[in-house]
């Protein structure tokens, strides 16, 4: 929820950047069952969110939280998340924290909106509400929802903690939008929003606030001494879903998509800044096709997460051997899957080539994996050894869930799939699955009969998505014609998804090349920096420029692609930067052709000696030319992603011919008709 932009405590979040925290404290609130509401409004995931976050905080070796410093208020886990209990827990934190302490706050549950009790503090005339377990209905007498936790009050409680000099990171996995029109996927997907009508809240006009609006009421800079950062699952006009995660894994549980993605990113990159973490969350949303909502991030985002520098960027964990059973304290949350292989290192400081053996993942759950050695006896593994993930894989396949057999679309789609072999029609890596099966995309019926909607993995569609959601008419087409149109649509989506998957596989900082974006508009002709977290909104005639400098001692090739919300891909630029070169390049101007979530992709590859400039123009979505000879390891991966001749299900990302890895940066941009 994007509440905190209205709170006075934000006025001086940058005045006191945290140093190494003396004590770490956490309050984890999760509300699943609302006994005063109809059961159809209950949630499943908040209790699981809280359990996951508590486990992470207790086991994270980089920034440990003592169990006695973690307060849990979550029905089904521990404590009861009533309004009184939440108030008491926040008051207790404010009483016991001191300068340089760190406080993590997590709220998972329903959110909604109500007419503001103090209109002068809310530009849109609405208060944002988090709903405790003892929520009541709207009370006309006092003009408020009974027992609701209002944004202004939470702001005051956080202000009390910060006034003691403690730094606060607050995460809200809830939403308060009335825009949802349908959700496909049965009990697997629920939306964390409660319509105002369900609580009897009177109608009120809603206006989307600007992300850059800043505080909406006066603040006393003296009262807020500690630092502040806030992460929100969605904008004020959006919903956020919960879903059984990790997708496709046995034993998965319902989690807020935002909570799980956030801690998955944090587990993979423990030593990052809040800005880097936010960028990784946005990238994972795009790669996983998880949800259409836009997470928001505010505060001093250039501080280190949890206020502590460091964190091991190497994906490795200490081995524990008990009665011949080998385990590591990492699992699905850390990107570990059954069948993966990890190297055994005698010490955490050893290089990869000093591995004394290999381990294969036999079984993985969220925070634990069991491994078996492949080329070394258990008794020969020394005490203090570590397991290291030395290479990753990126999977280029696309899975698509078909409509239920009772749907009017079932027959025409079945006939289309039967018009030829699926491999001939769609390629080896597009797989169709039965209805209600975990998949990357969900096919369902539109309100217009005979029209197929192509939805993201959650199967959730909002009104804002309607104009961007691919749709295919089935009537008037032969089975083969329908198969051709469906294949074109799925291939286009898959190519975009595969490009973004490579963005997750290749770190943006793999090369010492600075990339900064700048923008200008007809009313502002001077170039200014374009902040990409939170996601900026651009309108027609806005321009985007790049300022790039190569700090490497060798030349680097640069390619820039623009990925539209309509799955179009445009190759904007290619060129070579010699060592020390500084490039100032205009990239694009926003048009009024389509609006939505677009992405700017910057690809950097070490230039091979004697090779021509790497030109990735073949990645354009339209008119793919015949594939030519492979120019680099990265180029071969891109060709693989473009459904080239090979049909491997996963491609190794290490051990290629390039001694230095390429870098791929993805910048999210929202385009709108006007500001």
Query: Given this model, what pLDDT does residue 193 score?
Result: 57
Query: Given this model, what pLDDT does residue 201 score?
Result: 57
- Least reliable range by pLDDT among 315-319, 376-380, 570-574, 593-597: 593-597
Q: Among the three residues 481, 500, 519, which one is the final residue of a domain in this structure?
A: 500
pLDDT exceeds 50 at position 443: yes
Q: Which residues pair with 127 in a beta bridge?
A: 114
| The total number of structural domains that make up the chain | 4
Specify whether 153 is located in the same domain as 255: yes
With bands split at pLDDT 50, 70 and 90, how would you rate the model's confidence at 555?
A: very high
Specify whether 256 is located in the same domain as 363: no
Cβ–Cβ under 8 Å, residues 560 and 616: no
Rounded average pLDDT over 301-316: 74
Give percent above pLDDT 90 in the chain: 28
pLDDT exceeds 50 at position 2: no
Cβ–Cβ under 8 Å, residues 171 and 306: no
Using the 8-state DSSP alphabet, how is residue 42 labeled? Answer: -
With bands split at pLDDT 50, 70 and 90, how would you rate the model's confidence at 168?
A: very high
Specify whether 443 is located in the same domain as 537: no
Q: How far apart are CA 292 and CA 456, in angstroms?
A: 8
Rounded average pLDDT over 546-573: 88
Query: Given this model, what pLDDT does residue 381 score?
Result: 94
Residue 422, CA distances (Å) to 400, 417, 490, 509, 645 in order = 12, 6, 12, 39, 16
Cβ–Cβ under 8 Å, residues 550 and 581: yes
393 domain residue, yes or no: no
Specify whether 178 is located in the same domain as 286: yes
Q: How far apart are CA 608 and CA 658, in angstroms?
A: 8
Query: Given this model, what pLDDT does residue 549 score?
Result: 94
Specify whether 418 is located in the same domain as 512: no
Strongest mean pLDDT among 181-185, 291-295, 306-310, 522-526: 522-526
Rounded average pLDDT over 240-263: 80
Rounded average pLDDT over 183-191: 50
Full domain range(s) for residue 338? 316-388
Q: How far apart are CA 519 and CA 545, in angstroms?
A: 6
Specify whether 471 is located in the same domain as 585: no
Query: Given this model, what pLDDT does residue 432 score?
Result: 92
Specify whether 350 is located in the same domain as 240: no
Residue 329, domain CATH:
2.40.10.410
Identify the residue with better confidence: 83 or 114: 83
Rounded average pLDDT over 325-333: 90
Residue 585, CA distances (Å) to 70, 499, 613, 620 in order = 49, 23, 17, 20
pLDDT exceeds 60 at position 190: no
Q: Among the three residues 257, 280, 307, which one is the final residue of a domain in this structure?
A: 307
Identify the residue with better confidence: 150 or 102: 102
497-518 pLDDT tens trace: 888 777 666 666 678 999 999 9
Query: Given this model, what pLDDT does residue 467 score?
Result: 64
635 domain residue, yes or no: yes
Residue of 358, 356, 309, 365 whose CA lies nearest to 336: 365
Cβ–Cβ under 8 Å, residues 229 and 142: no
- Least reliable range by pLDDT among 152-156, 237-241, 352-356, 427-431: 237-241
Query: Given this model, what pLDDT does residue 15 score?
Result: 32
């Amino acid at each position: 929820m994007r509440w905190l932009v209205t709170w006075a405590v934000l006025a001086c979040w940058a005045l006191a950047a945290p140093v190494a925290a003396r004590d770490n404290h956490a309050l984890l609130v999760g509300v699943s069952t609302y006994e005063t509401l109809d059961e159809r409004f209950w949630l499943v995931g908040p209790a699981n969110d809280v359990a996951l976050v508590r486990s992470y905080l207790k086991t994270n070796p980089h920034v440990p939280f003592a169990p006695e410093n973690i307060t849990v208020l979550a029905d089904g886990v521990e404590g009861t998340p009533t309004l009184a209990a939440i108030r008491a827990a926040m008051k207790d934190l404010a009483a016991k924290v001191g300068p340089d302490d760190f406080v993590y706050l997590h709220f998972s549950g329903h959110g909604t909106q109500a007419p503001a009790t103090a209109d002068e503090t809310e530009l849109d005339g609405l208060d944002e509400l988090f709903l405790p377990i003892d929520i009541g209905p709207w009370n006309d007498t006092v003009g408020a929802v009974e027992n609701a936790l209002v944004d202004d009050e939470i702001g005051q409680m956080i202000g009390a903690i910060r006034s003691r000099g403690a730094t606060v990171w607050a995460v809200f996995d809830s939403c308060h939008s009335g825009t949802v029109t349908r959700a496909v996927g049965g009990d697997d997907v629920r939306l964390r929003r409660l319509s105002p009508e369900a609580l009897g809240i009177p109608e009120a006009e809603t206006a989307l606030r600007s992300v850059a609006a800043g505080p909406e009421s006066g603040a006393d800079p003296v009262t807020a001494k500690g630092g502040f950062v806030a992460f929100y699952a969605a904008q004020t006009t959006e919903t956020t879903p919960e879903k059984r995660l990790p997708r496709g894994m046995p034993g998965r549980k319902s989690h807020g998509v935002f909570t799980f993605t956030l801690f998955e990113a944090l587990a993979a990159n423990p030593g990052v800044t809040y800005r880097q973490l936010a960028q990784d969350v946005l990238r994972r949303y795009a790669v996983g096709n998880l949800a259409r909502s836009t997470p928001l991030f505010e505060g001093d985002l250039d501080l280190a997460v949890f206020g502590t520098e460091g964190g091991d960027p190497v994906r490795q964990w200490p081995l524990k051997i008990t009665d011949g059973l080998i385990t590591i304290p990492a699992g699905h949350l850390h990107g570990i899957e059954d069948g993966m292989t990890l190297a055994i290192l005698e010490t955490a400081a050893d290089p990869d080539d000093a591995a004394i053996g290999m381990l294969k993942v036999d079984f993985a759950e969220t925070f634990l994996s069991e491994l078996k050695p492949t080329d070394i006896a258990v008794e020969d593994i020394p005490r203090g050894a570590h397991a290291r993930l030395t290479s990753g894989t990126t999977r280029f396949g696309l899975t698509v869930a078909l409509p239920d057999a009772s749907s009017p679309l079932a027959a025409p789609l079945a006939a289309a799939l039967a018009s030829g072999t699926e491999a001939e029609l769609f390629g080896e890596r597009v797989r169709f699955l039965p209805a209600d099966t975990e998949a990357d995309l969900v096919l369902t019926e539109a309100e217009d009969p005979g029209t197929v909607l192509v939805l993201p993995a959650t199967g959730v569609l909002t009104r804002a998505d309607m104009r961007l959601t691919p749709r295919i008419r089935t009537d008037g087409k032969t089975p083969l014609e329908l198969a051709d149109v469906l294949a074109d649509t799925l291939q286009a989506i898959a190519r975009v998804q595969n490009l973004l998957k490579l963005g997750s596989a290749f770190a943006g900082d793999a090369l010492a090349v600075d990339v900064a974006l700048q923008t200008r508009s007809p009313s502002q002709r001077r170039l200014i920096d374009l902040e990409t977290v939170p996601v900026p909104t651009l309108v027609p005639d806005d321009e985007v420029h790049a300022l790039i400098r190569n700090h490497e001692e060798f030349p680097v090739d640069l390619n820039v692609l623009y990925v539209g919300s309509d799955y179009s891909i445009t190759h904007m630029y290619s060129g070579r930067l010699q060592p020390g070169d500084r490039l100032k390049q205009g990239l694009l101007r926003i048009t009024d052709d389509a609006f939505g979530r677009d992405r700017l992709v910057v690809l950097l590859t070490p230039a091979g000696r004697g090779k021509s400039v790497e030109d990735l123009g073949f990645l354009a979505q339209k008119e793919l030319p015949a594939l030519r000879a492979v120019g680099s390891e990265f180029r071969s991966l891109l060709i693989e992603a473009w459904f080239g001749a090979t049909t491997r299900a996963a491609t190794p990302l290490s051990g290629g011919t390039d001694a230095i890895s390429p870098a791929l940066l993805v910048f999210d941009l929202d385009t709108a008709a006007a500001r």
